[in-house]
Structure 1
Amino acid sequence: MVFQGSSAAISHTGKVRSNNQDSGYAGSNLFVVADGMGGHAGGDVASALVIHRLEHLDDDPFASPTVAERALRDAIADSATELIDTVGRRPELAGMGTTVSALLMVDDLAVIAHIGDSRIYLYRDGSLTQITTDHTFVQRLVDSGRITPEEARYHPRRSVLMRVLGDMDPDPELDTFIMPTQPGDRWLLCSDGLSGVVDDAHTQKALAAGNAPGRTADTLLKQALDGGAPDNVTIVLVDVGGAHPVFTGTATIVGSASHPAGIEVPAARPGRTSWLHPNRQAANEPTHFEPDADFLEELIEEDRRRARRRRVGWIVGLVLVLGMLATAGVMAYQWTQTRYFIGADEDTVVIYQGIQQDIGPISLSTPYEDTGIALDDLPSFTRSTVERTISADSLEAAEVIVDRLRDTAEAYG
């Protein structure tokens, strides 16, 4: 059955890279995002090759979602075989690969296939849910509870893929599953150029606005560009039913798959640098790679060392803060001991050292001298003033006040 709804696809090079290695596809029933990797030309070829290998599924009438799931899995496996054959003909492209996140609509069900760190989200009833799981090193750390999802966004190894469609494995390990969908659902497929820059809260807000898929995709792209867009950005947005026009016409292909050069396996151009852009060439190097077992162990050990350094840093920071607080407390107490005030004990006038305040059970003053002046010898107003305490900036000032009180007591007596 032809999918009833509307869709849009958009792809942008971003603000750092000089070429687009992403590809995207939005058809009648099939929707795909592929994020290529492997150098200047290799990523272009890998993502474009996958799109063109899968696009025939768009028009196939499937007897059931299970049949469609098998066909989608087989087509992606065939793409892996073609990548291997391509590298055999062009050895300079060795190491190229791509992520694949594909959505195939069959009746009211969504057939999903996924490998890598591109993502599929579902926005339903005001809530955004990430449907696919990233096949990355940091996601493994998140799953094991060693880091938080927020820490994963800024982890220095966040681009290390544990699974990818590449030129080494003819039988890639895919995630495939079938989900029900319903009118009003909004499906978002995107490369990490979007999800790595725009957080889920802003993505949800854009999807909740209810604009047409094309305008919504433009909004998300603008947010990625405003965030710096260090990588290619590809977005495919799919609305199930809804008020916007139903898809008609030919499929929309974006990114490297939209250019014949993406399939013709162009030779890589030499990188250029200048004193104005010294890091430009480095920005075009592959940021994703699939580690072997030995390197993975090195990454795990590196993360353990980082965790230990983080704990030591917290402990050192805590000790420094406590030390600073203790030093400030000592200095504050020493300052209070430079102050004096006149007060009363049970029946006489007393000079106190410190200030007229307490911190919990800690008194900030101590009796310095009992003057021997009886409270009963003072006029009632003067006695009341002493009982409320009289501040003095120094011991000398306190002694002057005491002399006046003694004179008053003698005169009153």
Structure 2
Amino acid sequence: MSDQPPEAALPRLRLDYGAVSDVGRVRRDNQDSGYAGPWLLAVCDGVGGAARGDIASATAITQLRRLDEPPGSDSAEELLGRVAGAIHRAHDRLVELVDEDPALSGTSTTATVLAFDGTRLGIGHVGDSRAYLYRDGAIRQLTVDHTFVQTLIDEGRITEEEARVHPHRNLIMRAIDAVSDSEPDLFVLDIGPGDRLLVCSDGACGVLTDGRMADILSSGSPEYAAVELVRASLEAGSSDNVTCVVADVLAADDAAPVAEALVVGAAAERRLQRGRTGGLFRGHRSGDTGELDPVPADLPEGAPYDAIDSDPEAVRYAPRPPRRYAWAKRLFAAAVAVGIAWVGLAALWSWSQHQYYVGEQDGAVVIFRGVNASVGGFDLSEPYQTTDVELDRLSDFDAGKVRDGIDATDLADAQKAVQRLASNQQPATTATDG
């Protein structure tokens, strides 16, 4: 049985929204993407530096915007199922893009999604973009960051204020990528007229306090609030892209026109480029999100991230191994190859020590242990037993066979071959005085 009451009993609501995305004062490319529509609010913050986080965020928004459609009679579970499905489709699409272009390997994106059904929100969240509710003069953070510093906060090791300046504050533990299909946080929020919603990238919430955001959200239209939040973030020193989506919850009004959906940031740029170039991503420079300082080759052990004086986007997503560990992978691969070769050589040497043949050394017939061959001037056999059979007392035929080497199946077989040669050797000549 559905947990949703009959449609006539539902308080019908609508959203009035605004969205702004700014590349910021440091970066050359905007890797944020935002969307605001009658039934959907979403922000995605691309991660990946040279791996093109802008593609990841734009791809995710393209999949998520399918949620912007009039609601049916979904239950809360069905609403969250649609949100989760859209996030998983974004992952699947990134997998396809990386398969088509391996240079995109390592790209990923956050996603904070608010799907509206006319009376409540189905919220899905991965990463460190955030959703806030401003109600009755107070602001409340709705989502929990999937970051390293958040784990420290949860454990009581640092405070919220300390997290803002922590050297690992940019390190994300969960994101939408082409490797693992991350499970999003999912929950339902009941809303009512007078509520104001904010979805933003960490370029805003990473520098603005809750009090400052609440002050901006307390007045003006959604568009005005979004613009002011971006402006305040840049003035506060944000070095990242900044994206803010603000929406007011209003009572439904059949006479009110349905506002046009807004697409901002990298997703909007991708749409413009498609019309100009004939390809979704063709013609866009593939540089990093900002100028990177040189990364030292000899980093101290135990200092994986704060020892790097570079753009934090280069090491933002934890499951993507930092480049400086590539030498360790190559060293490990080389060690494995050497180990396999050593095991093979050891097995070959052990086998050779059970092989025997009959040959000649210093004019005598000798039983050799090993293989009758040499590699690089190194003999693969050694004398095992010297006999009293002399080569000069053998027939030319037998002597030739000994010089070439007489193969034996084992030591006993080699000893039998020597016995046959001994029985065939000519009697020794004795010198006499004339």
Alpha-carbon distance in structure 2 between the residues aligned to 1:243 and 1:215:
22
**One-letter identity of the residue aligned with 1:252:** L
**One-letter identity of the residue aligned with 1:207:** L
* One of 186, 197, 202 as aligned partner of 2:212: 202
| 3-state SS of 1:221 partner | helix
| 3-state SS of 2:114 partner | strand
* One of 102, 113, 132 as aligned partner of 1:102: 113
Partner of 2:236: 227
Aligned-pair distance for 1:269? 3.6
Partner of 1:264: 280
Higher Rg:
2
Partner of 2:225: 216
| 3-state SS of 2:244 partner | strand
Q: Map of 1:11-22 to 2, 5 A cutoff?
A: 11-22=21-32
* One of 164, 167, 174 as aligned partner of 1:163: 174
Partner of 2:265: 255
**One-letter identity of the residue aligned with 2:121:** A
Alpha-carbon distance in structure 2 between the residues aligned to 1:283 and 1:179:
36
Aligned-pair distance for 1:243? 12
Alpha-carbon distance in structure 2 between the residues aligned to 1:229 and 1:121:
19
Partner of 2:94: 83
Alpha-carbon distance in structure 1 between the residues aligned to 2:48 and 2:319:
13
Q: How many residues align?
A: 290
Partner of 1:286: 314
> Given the alignment of the two structures, is residue 69 of structure 1 paired with residue 80 of structure 2, yes or no?
yes
Alpha-carbon distance in structure 2 between the residues aligned to 1:70 and 1:175:
12
**One-letter identity of the residue aligned with 1:192:** D
Partner of 1:190: 200
**One-letter identity of the residue aligned with 1:214:** E
1:195-234 CA distance string (max 9 Å, x none)? 01111111011111x2100111111111111112200000
Residues 39 and 284, structure 1, Cα contact 8 Å, conserved in 2: no
Residues 40 and 268, structure 1, Cα contact 8 Å, conserved in 2: no
Moved over 4 A (4+): 242-247, 270-274, 281-285, 292-295
Residues 138 and 157, structure 1, Cα contact 8 Å, conserved in 2: yes
Aligned-pair distance for 1:287? 5.0
1:18-49 CA distance string (max 9 Å, x none)? 00000000001101000001124621111001
Alpha-carbon distance in structure 2 between the residues aligned to 1:247 and 1:27:
13
**Aligned-residue CA RMSD (Å):** 3.0
Change in CA separation of 1:247 and 1:160 when aligned onto 2, cut-off 3 Å: farther
Partner of 1:30: 40
In structure 1, runs of 5+ residues without a counterpart are 296-413
Identity of aligned residues (%): 38
In structure 2, runs of 5+ residues without a counterpart are 1-6, 295-308, 324-434
Change in CA separation of 1:115 and 1:223 when aligned onto 2, cut-off 3 Å: same
**One-letter identity of the residue aligned with 2:32:** D
TM-score w.r.t. the length of structure 1 is 0.65
Change in CA separation of 1:273 and 1:123 when aligned onto 2, cut-off 3 Å: closer
